[in-house]
Amino acid sequence: MNSLNQRGALRRRLLGRLLAGSLVGGAAPSARALMAGRAPDSPAARVDPNTRSSRWSGVVCVLADGSPYSGVAIGPRHVLTASHVVGGRAPAQLQVVLNHTAPPLIVAVAATSVYPGATFPYDDLALLQLAQALPLGVATYPVMDLPRPVGTALTLVGYGASGLGDVGPTVPPDSAVKRTGMNVIDQFTDRLDSSGRTSPFFVYDFDGASGNGPLGGPTLGNALETTVAVGDSGCGAFVMFGDEPALYGLNNVALSFNGAALSTFGSGGAGLILGYKPYLDWLVSETASAVELLSKRQPDSIPAMPTWTLAALGGGLWWIQRRQASPRGAARRDTL
């Protein structure tokens, strides 16, 4: 079998394993809250101080008809979230909540823009235009428009539910409670079902307190490793350049591997890679160029990347890798 046929056969096997189980509610589960490890770790240990001085001050709660989800400020008047969070709602049904003051600051949404053709989980992006600018000092994040390899560490930040990884979610999402955790990119894929739709996804598993997860490992450790849970739809996946975070992707899908319960050890999640050029063009257009792209910063502020990654920019290696890898053993997907 030549290499092209081998790649096609591998792709069919992996996609078959992804579709081997039933979909939750007939569709992939959306993203869920950020989970803790097993005791002595706890949901409380993952809570961000939620002050204006926190580096995650620009990760906000999006209330959709009063239900808490997540979003990320990419400009003083623009918050990026998942399109299924907006879900056809009028701007008056959406609010952005910041918890830097008591009582919390609630910002009205003046307009929404959904990525053309968005259907969960594909192209699942929406922009909220705020009725007023965010307060001074609240972080806004540049978008990482350079490719990153498998194994890149991600920091996940959101307002979703939580619980212990060996138990599952027991603490509901709360518009006043933001949590953080980490994972790594285990795979890239362009599809999560047999619909024929494609989007650029990064995929990660929720390794246990020790050892390797279903997509490989090793774990980042009981106090760091996390996955998404209900309410984390629209939460950010960040990479660090120096001491500053850049927004790499947007989490929107919870995955089950090998029958694992969603949001427990052995499960995982996926999100959309924002460095995909059609997404970047849309963000630049919809924000009237207010969004900052990391590549536009001074060259000495961009961390060095491996030579093979730089070569991929011209040769398409990243695209090939993304198209060939479908999540191994994923049986269910769900919104968060």
Q: Is the pLDDT of residue 247 over 70?
A: yes
pLDDT in tens, 122-138: 999 999 999 999 999 99
Q: Is the pLDDT of residue 327 over 90?
A: no
Percent of the chain residues topping a pLDDT of 70? 79
Distance from C-alpha of 290 to C-alpha of 281, rounded to nearest angstrom:
12
Side chain identity at residue 113, one-letter code: S
Q: Is the pLDDT of residue 183 over 80?
A: yes
Q: Is the pLDDT of residue 334 over 80?
A: no
Average confidence (pLDDT) over 8-12? 36
Average pLDDT, the chain: 83
Other CB atoms closer than 10 Å to residue 15's CB: what's the count?
Answer: 18
What H or E segment, with its residue span, contains residue 331?
strand 330-334
Q: Among 3.90.226.10, 2.40.10.10, 3.30.70.20, 2.60.200.20, name the CATH number for the domain at 3-45+142-334.
A: 2.40.10.10
- More confident of the two residues 218 and 26: 218
Residue 25 is predicted with a pLDDT of 27
Q: How confident is the model at residue 170 (pLDDT cuts 50, 70, 90)?
A: very high
Residue 211 is predicted with a pLDDT of 85
Q: Which of 141-145, 182-186, 307-311 has the lowest mean pLDDT?
A: 307-311
| Cα 194 to Cα 17, 23, 77, distances in angstroms | 12, 11, 37
Residue 13 is predicted with a pLDDT of 34
pLDDT in tens, 15-56: 333 332 222 223 445 554 589 999 999 999 999 998 888 999
Residue 14 is predicted with a pLDDT of 34
At residue 310, what are phi and psi to the nearest 5 degrees?
-65, -40
Question: Pairing mode, if any, of strands 268-273 and 201-205?
Answer: antiparallel
Distance from C-alpha of 85 to C-alpha of 118, rounded to nearest angstrom:
12
Average confidence (pLDDT) over 154-177? 96
Q: Where are the domains of the chain?
A: 3-45+142-334, 54-130
Distance from C-alpha of 265 to C-alpha of 336, rounded to nearest angstrom:
17
Residue 310 is predicted with a pLDDT of 29
> What does pTM read for this prediction?
0.84
Average confidence (pLDDT) over 196-210? 95
Residue 16 is predicted with a pLDDT of 32
| CATH architecture for residues 54-130 | Beta Barrel (2.40)
Q: How confident is the model at residue 218 (pLDDT cuts 50, 70, 90)?
A: confident
Q: Is the pLDDT of residue 313 over 50?
A: no
Residue 10 is predicted with a pLDDT of 32
Average confidence (pLDDT) over 269-292? 97
- More confident of the two residues 327 and 126: 126
Q: At what angle do helices 3-18 and 317-324 cross, to 10 degrees?
A: 50
| Cα 286 to Cα 3, 100, 129, distances in angstroms | 42, 27, 9
- More confident of the two residues 4 and 218: 218
Residue 301 is predicted with a pLDDT of 53
Q: Is the pLDDT of residue 156 over 50?
A: yes
pLDDT in tens, 87-118: 999 999 999 999 888 889 999 999 999 999 99
Equal CATH topology for 3-45+142-334 and 54-130: yes
- More confident of the two residues 144 and 334: 144
